[in-house]
A = this chain, B = another copy of it.
Amino acid sequence: MQFSKSTDYALHALIHLAQAESHKNIGVRELSTILSVSESYLSKIMAKMRKDGIVRAVPGVKGGYELAKSAENITFLEVIQAIEGRQQMFECSNLNSKQHQLLAELNRTERSTKTKTTDRGECLVKKVMDGAEQHLHQYLREHTIQSVLDQAIKHCGHSTNKK
């Protein structure tokens, strides 16, 4: 139950991209040195984000990466999902155990005639866990790269600014 280091790198890379001037590509070289991580590895991470439309890449000399959209439109959730994938936190692993038969059955009785859409026979345990995931996602959706940048700037508020 932990986020991978790749997610860590991804977030940091995005922050660095965000506080750079727009339309100025930043190479993996520069990113890797400032993050203390190898270029090769970081490439794979950036590739994932590119496929999910978070960053844009241009090859060739003077090429590099830039944000594919404004920083306030990049949520923590989509970054995490781009890196970690989109599988659910809780996957039922004993769908054919006696336990599941019982729990799923009595959950099906009440809505037997009403909802027949996507009735996969899930029990209350899964409901709770899925709820947890939804809450987490909601929180992560509300926080963007820009939001941490704002708070950082507000905190220092006077110097140490690039542009």
Residues of A at the B interface (CB closer than 8 Å) are: 1-5, 7-9, 11-12, 15-16, 33-37, 76, 80, 84-85, 87-94, 96-99, 102-103, 105-107, 109-110, 123-125, 127-129, 131-132, 135-136, 139-140, 143, 147-148, 151-152, 155-156, 160
For residue A99, which residues in chain B have a CB less than 8 angstroms away from its CB?
A: 12, 15-16, 34-35
For residue A37, which residues in chain B have a CB less than 8 angstroms away from its CB?
A: 94, 97
Copies of this chain, count: 2
Q: Is the interface of A mostly helix, strand, loop or mixed?
A: helix
For residue A16, which residues in chain B have a CB less than 8 angstroms away from its CB?
A: 99
B106–A8 touching, CB < 8 Å? no
B152–A107 touching, CB < 8 Å? yes
Given A1-B1, A140-B132, A143-B128: A94 and B8 within 8 A (CB)? yes
A106 touches which of B36, B92, B156 (Cβ 8 Å): B156
Given A35-B97, A103-B152, A109-B156: A125 and B1 within 8 A (CB)? no
B90–A3 touching, CB < 8 Å? yes
A34–B128 touching, CB < 8 Å? no
A35–B107 touching, CB < 8 Å? no
B125–A136 touching, CB < 8 Å? no
B128–A12 touching, CB < 8 Å? no
For residue A92, which residues in chain B have a CB less than 8 angstroms away from its CB?
A: 8
In the assembly, what is the distance between CA of A99 and CA of B34, in Å? 6
